[in-house]
Amino acid sequence: MKKIILYSALFSTVAFTGCKKFLDTLPDNRTSLNTPGKVAEMLVSAYPKASYIPFCEAMSDNADDKGIAESETYNSVPYVWGDVPEKDQDAPDYYWNGAYEAIAAANQALDAINSAANQKAYTAQRGEALVARAYAHFMLVTLFSKAYDPATAASDPGVPYVTTPEKVVLQSYERKTVSYVYEMIEKDLTEGLPLLNDASYKVPAYHFTQKAAHAFASRFYLFKQDYAKVIEHASLVFPGNNFRDNMRDWLVTYDQLTYAELRAIYTKASENANLLLAEATTWWGRNYPSYRYGLTPDLMNKVLGGNVTGGAWAYGIYGDDEHLNIPKFNEYFVREGLNANSGLGYNMIPLFTTEEVLLNRAEAYVRSNNNTAALEDINVFASGRIVGFSPARMVTENKAKAYYNTTDAKVALINTILDFKRAEFMHEGLRWFDIIRLKMPVVHKKNDEKLTLSPTDPRRLLQLPQEVKLAGLDLNPR
């Protein structure tokens, strides 16, 4: 019986049931996790190999109706905040399964470490497993539960926080609460982060390095509304405060590249801005310019037109009115066979970047009543994104208040930061995270109909896979 409740691929010998002769030979040396190197191999699978971008982008206000032929359900159903019936790549169910597969790999690694005679030899691997486990659970609770609210987190249903390998076919689980999940995430994160050793990785950009873990912490604490810790962890990503030198260079380097070159460089491990990359099975890189619900001329003018600096964005926008896009993803297609025409598409996904960390810190400064420090971060970001940036283009409190027509400097600066993030992460799904975190309404139009997602609409929570009811879990209300 296939276990589909919290879909986890067991890598232990429990998974390899069958005839005795088959079990006489281990089919994969990772099933015997008796060295730090083998555990490290296991941890390659501790990152979700699924993408949240297709449905997060479609649900957000970074998607508009082009009025062309209807897209596939992975784009059209989330646009109207419906439950995607499919379970293949790019569906919410696929991400749920991918996240719990990653958690299963982390737990299997930790189980092996705890059984090792010399556990100190596995310190770096323990750190990576704990932080990776925390990240996957954070993504699940963020997408499938209500956003953290101190007033309701102790009663809002969370997601199962799994800390041990599954060793039975039908395991029972509890959703518990958002507060409990956050406590467990913080426990794993704070325990695991100091143990990380960047020197243990061949390609650090594909693993939780110290920088990547602090970047994750800056996002986690932004959701948790612990702004002092956002500032602390964001500042530890680049202790020398050299954020500008580690941002994507849209003004010079990127400006000289072709469309194909831009697609290739954006998700390269050699790009300093990419603090953590993960491979995901997805058709997003191939399809996002042509989906019906995406970047339109009207949306482009709204998000990527004017801004508080008065200058023009440096982002390269390509395509006609029905295919507008910023080139960010380069698909790697793997054929099913040597002569096959079918196969799977893969994209590298930037899970954490320099730019997000900088803007997370800027928001935390504003919410901590330190507008001076916030403006420094805002202008560092603008200096790398605004064509011809100069002192005349610098953001000030008065300029922000005038642009957003408010007398409240705090409101003006928060709006500035959110708009900068909205433009920076077009096509990357992160706008949805700000929408749910800040309980922002979303308005979509479809043909002549106006659709509104209010801050209290239950459809803001993705629906859990139907199969989880077998594990005794309640679905989200609809």
Domain count for the chain? 1
Q: Which residue has the tokens 């260079």?
A: 249
Question: Is residue 35 domain-resident?
Answer: no
Q: Domain with 369 in it: what CATH number?
A: 1.25.40.390
Residue 473 corresponds to which tokens in the numbers above?
A: 């879990």
What DSSP line would sit under 215-270, residue for residue? HHHHHHHHHHT-HHHHHHHHHHHSTT--TGGGS--TTTTGGG--HHHHHHHHT-TT
Helices (H), 67-177: 73-79, 92-115, 123-144
Residue 116 corresponds to which tokens in the numbers above?
A: 């090792």
In which domain, by residue range, is 398 found?
203-425
What does the pLDDT look like over 139-164, one tens digit per residue?
A: 999 999 999 999 999 999 999 999 99
Q: Contact 378/417 with Cβ under 8 angstroms?
A: yes
Best CA proximity match to 393, nearest among 379, 404, 403 = 379
Residue 301 pLDDT level (bands cut at 50, 70, 90): very high
Alpha-carbon distance of 43 to 110, in angstroms, equals 10
Alpha-carbon distance of 248 to 353, in angstroms, equals 9
Calculate mean pLDDT across residues 376-387: 98
Question: Is residue 241 domain-resident?
Answer: yes
Q: Is 294 helix (H, G, I), strand (E, B) or coil?
A: strand
Question: Is residue 413 domain-resident?
Answer: yes
Q: How many CA atoms lie within 13 A of 66 on its CB side?
A: 26
- Which pTM was predicted? 0.92
Position 81 pLDDT exceeds 80: yes
Choice between 20 and 49, residue whose per-residue pLDDT is larger? 49
Question: Is residue 220 domain-resident?
Answer: yes
Residue 474 corresponds to which tokens in the numbers above?
A: 């309640």
Q: What percent of the chain has pLDDT over 90?
A: 87
Task: List Cβ neighbours of 405 (8 Å cut-off, separation of 6 or more).
Answer: none
Angle ∠(248,252,258) on CA atoms, nearest 5: 85
Position 256 pLDDT exceeds 50: yes
Residue 20 pLDDT level (bands cut at 50, 70, 90): very low
Alpha-carbon distance of 333 to 98, in angstroms, equals 19
Question: Is residue 457 domain-resident?
Answer: no
What does the pLDDT look like over 59-68, one tens digit per residue?
A: 999 999 999 9
Question: Is residue 358 domain-resident?
Answer: yes
Q: Spell 179-212 as b/e; 16+ CB within 10 A means b.
A: bbbbebbbebbeebbebbeeebbeebbbbbbbbb
Task: List Cβ neighbours of 166 (8 Å cut-off, separation of 6 or more).
Answer: 3, 6, 8, 10, 104
Cα dist from 358 to 140, 350, 379, whole Å:
24, 15, 10
Alpha-carbon distance of 475 to 478, in angstroms, equals 9
Question: Is residue 298 domain-resident?
Answer: yes
Residue 288 corresponds to which tokens in the numbers above?
A: 């996002």
Question: Is residue 442 domain-resident?
Answer: no
Task: List Cβ neighbours of 227 (8 Å cut-off, separation of 6 or more).
Answer: 221, 364, 365, 367, 368
Alpha-carbon distance of 376 to 354, in angstroms, equals 15
Calculate mean pLDDT across residues 206-217: 98
Q: What percent of the chain has pLDDT over 70?
A: 93
